[in-house]
Amino acid sequence: MKTLTKILLAVALVAGLTNVAIALTTATSTVTITFSAIAAIAVSGNPGTLTIVSPATPGDLPADQSDTSTTMAWTSSVNSGKTRKITGSIASLFDGIDLYATVTAGSGKGTSAGETKFTAAATPYDFVTAIGSCNTSSETITFRAHVTAIVAPYTNTQKVVTWTLTDEA
Amino acid sequence: MKTAVPYIIPALLAVVICYGGVCWAISITATGSWSQTIDASNLTGGAGTDLNSTYQSASNAVVIDIIGAGSTWGVAVKKITSNWHSSLHLSVKRTSDGTGVGTISGGTSYQEVTDIDQSFFSGNRSRANVNVQFQLTGVSIQVPPGVYTATVYYTVTGT
């Protein structure tokens, strides 16, 4: 009989533990959302040809030529306290011409540096700074060619300008 | 024999009670999770555009089993978050009835998961393999980079 009692008690104990083990009234699952930092930039295309023409007044240098036909778009997400900037660099300089560029920045999209000259080749210059988390799709790019000296005429000379959205120090 | 008698009756009662406890207890288990990475590939139209605002998990991101033989029950849902962003809204819905001898109803439309328990779905007896799907809304480029986590709690109670 003692053996039967022990068995019953053991069964009761196991049943009790089983009861405790499976009677879960709350279950959980985890949702994890990861936001990666985003730095995306694009331009609408190539600007029109800047054609330098003879000056109206003999003895003058040819007048400046500008193009505003292209736009820039960017999307940026940064952590609090961090900002980005847009730099531009030109692969090589034009003979007898200084090239300037301006990139606008709408409200909340950063701060335009205004017109900036590509002074040296392969050197990044700041065009928009203080870019936080934002997106903008149609900021105007203005190129201006300023003749500095009379040189031998040349045509269809293309220079590549590279725009980069990068972290500010 | 006489010394054993005082133990026999409590032992038998214990078995009955415990088995009774098992028979009438309600339990719930949830299996699965949802991880979503949001990056530049989720921009609506490339550079210059914002992120898609809404994301959904697989329809069976989480599978819930409920054991509630002989009783009616309701499941409530809530979340506890860490490093959550105020513009993000997590919703949940039930995408299948599961299987089992019991019935199940409600919870088939997305409802926001808040920080307090809210009724999700209800039923009776046991249902297994009840699929659950999540939806995240309110995503924009204004949400700073980082990892945002919510622990979703499913609490079953007898009704």
Which of B49, B57, B144 minimises the CB distance to A135?
Answer: B49
Distance CA B47, CA B10 (A): 75
Q: What is the pLDDT of residues B95-150, one digit of tens each?
A: 999 999 999 999 999 999 999 999 999 999 999 999 999 999 999 999 999 999 99
Q: What is the pLDDT of residues A32-64, one digit of tens each?
A: 999 999 999 999 999 999 999 999 999 999 999
Contact A91, A68 (CB under 8 A): no
Q: What is the pTM of this model?
A: 0.82
Q: Under 8 Å CB-to-CB from B1, ≥6 apart: which residues?
A: A1
Domain range list for chain A: 38-167
Specify the 3-state DSSP secondary structure of A1. Answer: coil
Q: Do B144 and A26 touch (CB under 8 A)?
A: no
Q: How many residues does chain A have?
A: 169
- So what's the pLDDT on residue A9? 37
Distance CA A82, CA B71 (A): 56
Chains A & B: contacts with CB separation below 8 Å: 196
Q: Do B48 and A75 touch (CB under 8 A)?
A: yes
B153 Cβ under 8 Å from any chain A Cβ: yes
Q: Interface pTM (ipTM) of the complex?
A: 0.85
Residue A160 has pLDDT above 80, yes or no: yes
- So what's the pLDDT on residue B69? 64
Q: B49: which 2 tokens?
A: 């555009």
Q: What is the pLDDT of residues A114-132, one digit of tens each?
A: 999 999 999 999 999 999 9
Domains of chain B: 27-158 (2.60.40)
Distance CA A101, CA A104 (A): 10
Which residue intervals of chain B are DSSP H helices?
5-24
Q: Do B150 and A31 touch (CB under 8 A)?
A: yes
How remote is the C-alpha of B43 from its chain's centroid? 30
